[in-house]
Amino acid sequence: MTKAQITVYLQALDGHFLGPRAYETNKISIKFHYSGREVDLPYKLASDSDDGSPTKDFVTGKSTFMPIITVPGANKPTQVNFLTSDNQSIAGTHVFDLPNQIERAELDISVPLTYGDPFRIRQQVILHPAQTIYKIIIVVPGLYLAESKIPGMVSVYVRMMCGCPVSPTTLWPDGDFIVFADVLDTFGGTNTYKLEYDKNQPVTSNSLFSYKLSGSQKPIRTVTFRANQISAPNYGVLVQVYLV
């Protein structure tokens, strides 16, 4: 029976592949259903795994169909990059016996998020006896919010789902993101604060958005952070518990 290979890449919407910097890659699940069987496509990090390389030019057979678009800033034009894979780019791969007739197979994918249930998608794949290589790119929307506890402030790290930082010098400028903190105090009162990008942190790996609390702020029980990317439908939530 003819052998075939399927390779599944998971690309953050407007970002890189979900690789070394992404959120809980060990909990990503890719299952392949075909010919009455279900197999796992291991999505495992290796010491040399990478998350792809942005390039100005589209490379047939290498680049993803979803570009990385950097919104224009002051006196800066819009940038368009295409994500290109290489032999070290993380992906789920499986070699299987190709059916001797056309078959409708299916991928069942689960990606953890920092809020609620995971991102789930079921993608059909048409298997054909004359085709032995299958490359599938699944785009994963969302933002990766990471905890930050700084005395006297409410703060959170906002990153792309691939873990890429938000800052003026990256492909994802801080001005393209809106971040709010819904604060619940120990007396049951609530306040909503708009967080600003923290320019005092190291620029290349910053991603920190914060708001300085006033002296009248009552002890905080929980903070719910909400982040939106303006130019893309990326959204993230993180609940941070201060006092139980």
pLDDT per residue rounded down to tens, the chain (244 residues): 799 999 999 999 999 999 999 999 999 999 999 998 999 999 988 888 999 999 999 988 888 888 999 987 656 778 899 999 988 999 999 999 999 999 999 999 999 999 888 999 999 999 999 999 999 999 999 999 998 988 889 999 999 999 999 988 889 999 999 999 999 998 888 999 999 998 876 666 789 999 999 888 888 899 999 999 999 999 999 998 886 4
Segments forming the whole domain that contains residue 14: 3-140
Closest CA to 94 of 38, 172, 41: 41
Residues 24 and 133 in one domain: yes
Residues 67 and 89 in one domain: yes
Share of the chain above pLDDT 70, in %: 96
Residues 67 and 100 in one domain: yes
Residues 194 and 158 in one domain: yes
Taking the alpha carbons of 59, 63, 66, 70 in that order, is the dihedral positive or negative?
Answer: negative
* pTM summary value: 0.90
